[in-house]
Structure 1
Amino acid sequence: MRPPLRAVATLATVAALVTGCSSGDDWSRPHPKPVPVGALGQGFVDPARPPAPEATITPRPGSWDPVHPPEDYRVLLLTTGDDAPTRALVAAVKDWAEAEDVDLRTMVPKDPQDFVPSIDRAIRMRPDLIVSAGNDLIDPLAMVTPNHLSQQFLVVGAELAEPTHNVTAADWSGASFRGEGLGMSSTYDAASFTAERCAAAVRAGVAAVLSDLTGIVIWLDQH
């Protein structure tokens, strides 16, 4: 017996909004706290002087390379926008996930009214990490993230003006959008979203989160 057409349409809509790869594991099952494979290299931070909350650090290029996610690491990519910088960030996240065999799923809000609900849906999926790409998500994230401190977030190519300890950002001068009505930074440069820099932002940001260095901004102008 065929399912009703309405049910088929609903399933198609869900599939369009949340897509996944890798293991296809049921994320509702119990999952241990992720433990990184490897450790941060020299120059990422000074172990004797760990960064304070909301601090900005400028790690040595490549100091994040020794850190890799554990098996079955669950990442949800939340993204909106079809501009070239956002596309470059999304490509970097997907390339990293494939290289590291990460269980990656992608959620795309259907319209601006869906930004906050989509973040709530992402949290309910219980990923190890939610990665955000797209400037339009910054203000909605600032509203939602303080109420879900147990969920880790990584913002790539932008940052929150006042992040809580569960929101880490990987940013640079050409990508320093902060939301809250501040407008685009005078240093914003769409051409700075190169494949190399976007890849570094993803890897450095994930390495920091896995190493419990969260709630900070990772500045990549040296890269």
Structure 2
Amino acid sequence: MRRRTTMAAVIMAAMVMTGCSSASGWSEMRAHPAAIGTPGAGFAPPTPLAPEATYAPEAGSWDGVRPPAGYRVVLLTVGDDAPTATLVNAVQDWAAETRADLRVVHADADMIDGAVEAMQMNPDLIISAGDALVDPLATVTANHLDRQFLIIGAELAEPTENVTAADWTGAAYRGEGLGKASAYDPASFTPERAAAAVRAGVTSVLTGQRGIVLWIE
């Protein structure tokens, strides 16, 4: 608890020192944009899920949903390993297809500073790609509940309601000393699975099903 409090103070100080917005970002935060379209059968459970729950939506049940044009997204990424590169490509392809307004923050120099920079850009959604970001985001997200995060190919051990994850067998890095899942397999990070995770995750955020883990079969 003491470490989390200290890190929260560092984050707040960084945001105050650098201002509440970024020249490369958008002018101000805005209300959650509405989804265009409706998820198919099997995307959501019959009753609302509890926070931190895991749910496996039917494959392709997210295909009928897209964000409005100009949906503001910051891709927060770290590392140049093959799984992370696959996730980054999937996010970029999705943004080009849906005409989302995508900005990229490479957080290799300092992951906390990178997360702060991403928040200061006032996006509608911050998408995280890279296992190393899990531990820093565990602190950042808990102290900024007004910001929406989507973690692809990993998840937080104790996510708050503003953190949604899209995961699958072969991924599921949880950080905080838990490390990689026993079934971790870099080869499971295929372009097809990464694309499905991005689309399913964004659909979940857009339709208000947040704070859960979507399990992509």
Same fold, TM exceeding 0.5?
yes
Q: Would you say 1:45 and 2:44 are equivalent positions?
A: yes
Please provide the CA RMSD for this pair.
Answer: 1.4
Matches within 5 A, 1:71-220: 71-111=69-109, 114-220=110-216
Partner residue in 1 for 2:54: 56
Q: Deviations over 1:102-158 (max 9, x none)?
A: 0000000242xx111111111111100000000000000001101100100000000
Query: Post-superposition shift, 1:173?
Result: 1.4
Query: Post-superposition shift, 1:31?
Result: 3.8
Partner residue in 2 for 1:6: none
State how far apart, in whole Å, the 2-side matches of 1:134 and 1:70 are.
26
> What TM-score do the two structures reach when normalised by structure 2?
0.87
Identity between Structure 1 and Structure 2 (%)? 57
SS of the equivalent of 1:44 reads coil
> What TM-score do the two structures reach when normalised by structure 1?
0.84
Contact 2:38 2:64 survives alignment (8 Å): yes
Larger radius of gyration: 1
SS of the equivalent of 2:150 reads strand
Structure 2: runs of 5 or more not aligned:
1-21
Aligned letter for 2:56?
A: T
Matches within 5 A, 1:26-41: 27-29=26-28, 31-41=30-40
Q: Deviations over 1:180-200 (max 9, x none)?
A: 011221100000001100000
SS of the equivalent of 2:27 reads coil
SS of the equivalent of 1:107 reads strand
Cα 1:186–1:130 change in 2 (3 A) is same
Structure 1: runs of 5 or more not aligned:
1-17, 21-25
State how far apart, in whole Å, the 2-side matches of 1:31 and 1:45 are.
26
**Across the two proteins, how many residue pairs are aligned to each other?**
195
